[in-house]
Structures are given as C-alpha cells and as structure tokens.
Amino acid sequence: MLKKMRRRYLALKIDSNETFSSRELIGTVWDAILKLYGEYGASRTGLALIDYDAEKKFAILRTAHTTVDMVRAALASITKIGDKPVAVHVLKVSGTIRALYKKIKQ
Amino acid sequence: MKRTYADLHLRPDLRNNEQVTHMIRKASQLGYRLIAIPIPQNFPEEKIQKLQNICKENKVDFASRADLKPKTSKELIKNLRNLRRRFEITAVMCESKKVARQAAKDRRVDLLNFPSYNPQKIFFDKAEAELASNALASLEINIKPLLTLAGRARIRLLSCLRREVTIAESFHIPIVISSEASNELLMRKPREIAALTSLFDLDKSSALEAVSKNPMTIIKRNREKLSPKFVAPGIRLIRRRKDC
C-alpha cells in the first residue's frame, strides 16, 4: 500500500528592501535546491508555494517531512533574487497550515 | 535544555556605526545570545565600550576577538605574547604550514582558521589535528564563502570542508561554525547554519553544538582565565585578607 506522504509547512521571512513576485521567489528556491542537491534531490522535496504576501515579505512553503533540512539549507544559501540581494529566514515549521499560523501569532 | 547560540565571527565595518548597530540588532533577532567581533590592535578602549553598550541594549553578550594573520611562527608567538591578555578570543588564520603547526600546539590559540577554498593551502591534516587535540584549539569554519561562492569553487570548498571535518572529528577537535558576515544579509539563524553544514557531512547534533556549546565553552574558559581572581587552572582566589 502506498504510504501517505507526511508534509511540513515552513513560514518564511524574506529579508530585503525590494519586493518580488511569487514566480521570482519560487524560481529562486527551486534553483537553490537544484544547485545543492541536483534533480534527484529536488524531486524528493515535493516543494510548493502555498501563500505569499509580497508587501509583508512573508511566504509559506510546503515540503515533504523528510526533506525539511534540505530545504532549510537551500533557503539559507539564497543570497540574491534576480540581481537584488536578499536573505530568506525560516520563522517556524509545522505539520499543518493551521498550526503554523497559530505558532506565528504566538 | 534550551541552547545558547553564539556567533564568534561577525565582521561589520567598525567605522560605520549604523551598520554595526544593525548587525548586532539582527544577531539578537536571529536568536544569538553572544557575538564576537574582530577588533584591530590599536582600536580605542572607549569604542570597545561603545560596542559593549550597543550589545547590552540588544540583550547580546559581546566578546572581543583578535584575528592574527602572521607570516612566520616567530611573528605568531610575538603577537600572542602582546595580545592574549587583551582579547577574549584569539583566532589564527593559518596561511603557511609553519604558522599552522605553531598555532595548533600553542595553548593560547582558541581558533584555527584555514583558507579552505584554496586547495594549495590546505594545512589541516592529521599531524596538525594531533597537535591541536593536545592543545586547546578548535577548528573554525566560516559560512560566508559557502554563500558567496558558486559552481566549481563551491564544489572544491565543500570537498575541502568535508575532509577537514572528518579529520577534526576523528581527533576529537571541537568545531566552531561562524558566519563571518560583513553585512546583515549574510547573517543566518543558528538552525539554518546547522542545516548548511549538512552539505559537508556534519551531523545535526554536532552542527548545533558547533554554534552553541563549543563557542560558549571557549568564552567561559577564557573569561575565567582573564579574571583577576584566576591563579591557575582549577585554582582561583576566593577572598583576599589584609595580610595577603
């Protein structure tokens, strides 16, 4: 029987003076994962952008629970989106979106 | 138990007060409770006091650090004699084999730093590790080159770091991971740094110790030594009487 995929949701803070589109953000995250772990590693992450607020510079990413540290390392390795300098920090990690919002509000 | 995180290598431009303040505030926001900044030898005392005040305002502990870059082992010994008692941490950038060997066996050296991205200057081998394991030195790995290099240069760097970490672990040499951040955008949270170290095969618990327990141990040991009550390892002055 196919095992149910356990997921993790990561709340991100984008540290920059510039604003970016969601396409630019997720493109940069994919590029970082590809550079560090290759296509095989990237295929294991099941990465998806769930929510993004360009004004508040806040995003939520979804990934498989086995690849949280891979995604964390890839996010830490991001120094630019396009040509603009940036740092991406993980605020919280949770198993459900609802719990993630609760943790952030605390 | 909650970990206390430390970054022993922040490199703000000390002439730019605004940047210094921003970086210290950022370190506090990212969860660090102790930071160390390399101080030039002729840096005025009142400016060091000012740095300490900024750290205090941001609830971060400040440690002074001397970065030594000697060309010969004699120069290293001379520098250590002059500076050891003025700074809480001494780090040596080993750019030649003789300097590396001297730094590894000298008990006054806290951190050994190697230019890992230059394959011709890899001096951290088994002999070096054996000397360091008998002294008190730790291996310092800076994260900045990992973030700034790309392509083949980063591949070479990761390969060198993997080799250094394997040797350090086999000789039980403590590893300290620092950011070497020269601006706010190069600063990362301790857990992010720990995740990055998985790229050179440092396991998670060792990585977290490298940003918490290991740097804190160095600071605690050196502060005790620099205290006026210190007599010798294990002996300290409890109280002074009139006839003493």
DSSP state of B13: -
Interface A-B, measured as beta-carbon pairs within 8 A, has a size of 47
DSSP state of B181: B
Q: For the complex shown, is ipTM > 0.85? A: yes
Mean pLDDT of B140-157: 92
Mean pLDDT of A1-15: 88
Q: Which residue in A has a C-alpha nearest to residue B26's C-alpha? A: A15
> Helices H, strands E: what count in chain B?
10, 9
Could you tell me whether strands B89-93 and B61-68 are parallel, antiparallel, or unpaired per DSSP bridges?
Answer: parallel
Largest Cα–Cα distance of chain A, in whole Å? 48
Largest Cα–Cα distance of chain B, in whole Å? 68
Q: Which residue in B has a C-alpha nearest to residue A86's C-alpha? A: B185
Please count the structural domains in chain A: 1
C-beta atoms of B192 and A76 within 8 A: yes
B196 CB neighbours in chain A (<8 A) are 73, 76-77
Q: Where residue A88 sits, what CATH number does that domain have?
A: 3.30.70.3250
Higher pLDDT, B164 or B136: B164
Closest CA to A10 of A71, A87, A73: A71
C-beta atoms of A87 and B146 within 8 A: no
Residue B166 is inside which H or E element, if any? helix B151-170
Q: Using pLDDT thresholds of 50, 70 and 90, give the confidence band for residue A12.
A: very high
DSSP state of B108: T
Q: Using pLDDT thresholds of 50, 70 and 90, give the confidence band for residue A40.
A: very high
Q: What is the pLDDT of residues B82-101, one digit of tens each?
A: 888 889 999 999 988 899 99
Residue A30, domain member (yes or no): yes
Q: Which residue in A has a C-alpha nearest to residue B185's C-alpha? A: A87
Residue A86, domain member (yes or no): yes
Which of these ranges, A69-78, B116-125, B196-205, has the smallest mean pLDDT?
B116-125
B150 CB neighbours in chain A (<8 A) are 35
Residue A58 is inside which H or E element, if any? strand A58-64
CA distances from A5 to A50, A62, A63, B187, B227 (A): 17, 12, 10, 33, 56
Does pLDDT of A1 surpass 80? no
Inter-residue contact B57 to B33 (CB < 8 Å): no
Higher pLDDT, A93 or B236: A93
Residue A43, domain member (yes or no): yes
Domain extent at residue A52? 19-105
CB atoms within 10 A of CB B28: 16
Inter-residue contact B34 to B61 (CB < 8 Å): yes
Residue A4, domain member (yes or no): no
- Neighbouring-strand partners of residue A87: A15
Residue A66, domain member (yes or no): yes
Q: Which residue in A has a C-alpha nearest to residue B203's C-alpha? A: A69
Does pLDDT of B232 surpass 90? no
Closest-CA distance, B162 to chain A, in angstroms, reads: 15
Closest-CA distance, A2 to chain B, in angstroms, reads: 29
Mean pLDDT of B66-80: 92
Go through the domains of chain B in sequence order and give each one's CATH number.
Answer: 5-226 (3.20.20.140)
Q: What is the pLDDT of residues B149-159, one digit of tens each?
A: 988 999 999 99
Residue A65, domain member (yes or no): yes
How far is B189 from B143, CA to CA, in rounded Å?
12
Report CA torsion sign: B108, B219, B92, B22.
negative
Q: Using pLDDT thresholds of 50, 70 and 90, give the confidence band for residue B211.
A: very high
